[in-house]
Amino acid sequence: MKMLNQWAEKQILLQEKKRIYWWQSKKDHRPNIGDYVAYDLVKRVLAMKGKLVSDKRDPNTKLVSVGSVLHFARNGDALWGTGYNQKMGDKVIQFEHLDVRAVRGPLTRQYLMNRGIEVPEVYGDPALLLPYFYNKRLMEKPDKHPFIIINHMNDNMEQYTGFEQHLVSPMQYPGSFIEAIVNSKRVISSSLHGVIIAEAYGIPAVFYKSNSGEAMFKYEDYYQGTGRYEIPVATSLEEGIAMTLASPPDFTRITDKLYQAFPFDLW
C-alpha cells in the first residue's frame, strides 16, 4: 500500500509540474528553498481562489515563477516573477514568445524586451508574498538569535567552519526555514532567497559573497526591482556580522501588484 501511495503521489507531482515549474535537483531530493517555493507558494495562491494546480485549463503550457529559471520557459508559457540566470547564458534559451505577467526585476525585463517580448513593468520575487501565508507571529519565540548564516547550496562548506551553530541550510521546507529567519535579528546569506525571505519578514539581511559560482545579475535584478541600486555585500562572515544594516523597505505596493498580476485567468 505504501509503494502504491508513493507511486500515486509521484504521478500527481508529474502532472502538476506540467502546469507549474519548479526546479528540483536530481542528485539531492531535499527541497532547495528558493526553488521549492515556486511550487508551495503557487499552490497557496491558487487556493485563495479555490483552485488546484491540476485545474489549469491548458496542460501544454506552464507557469514559471520563483527563481532564476527563465531558461526553462518555452513558447506560450506564462511568467510570474521569475528571473534570467546570466550564469546559464543565451545558449539554453528555447522560446520566442511568452505570456509575461511579472518579472523579478528591471534587468530581466530588459533582457526579454531585447528579445522582442512584451513585458509589463511589474517587478518582484513572489517569495515576498510568503508572510501572507506563513504567519510570523505564530512562529516567533521570546528569545531571538543575534544572527543566522544561510549558505548557498553550491557553497564550499569549509568556509563556515567555526560558525556551524549559526548555520541554517536552504535545503528544507518553507515552514522550518522561515521559523529560523523570524527568530533571528539579522541574516547573512549567500542564497538569494535567504535575503529575500528575510526581508519579506522585516529582518535585516546582507548578501554574503561566498564564491558559490552565481552571477551577480540575479541579486542586482532583485534589489533594483525593489527600487534599490546599492546592494549590501559582505565579503567575509565577520564583516556580515559587524556591518550596519538598514531595515528592509515596505514591500506592500510590490506584493499587491504581484498578487494582482497572478494569472488566475489560466485556471
Query: Which pLDDT belongs to residue 1?
Result: 58
**pLDDT band for position 2 (50/70/90)?**
low
The residues, any chain, with a CB within 8 Å of residue 71's CB and separated by 6 or more, are: 84, 85, 88, 92, 93, 94
Residue owning grid cell 501544454 = 60
CA triplet 129, 130, 133: central angle to 5 degrees? 105
Single-letter code of the amino acid located at 8: A
**pLDDT band for position 149 (50/70/90)?**
very high
Is the pTM higher than 0.75? Answer: yes
Of 63-72, 107-116, 206-215, 254-263, the range with the lowest mean pLDDT is: 206-215
What does the pLDDT average to over 195-220? 94
Domains of the chain by start residue, with CATH? 2-129+254-266 (no CATH), 134-249 (3.40.50)
Query: Which pLDDT belongs to residue 13?
Result: 76
Mean pLDDT of the chain: 94
Supply the angle between the helices 217-225 and 106-114 in degrees, to the nearest 10: 110
**Is the model more confident about 133 or about 15?**
133
What does the pLDDT average to over 251-256? 98
| pLDDT at 222 > cutoff 70 | yes
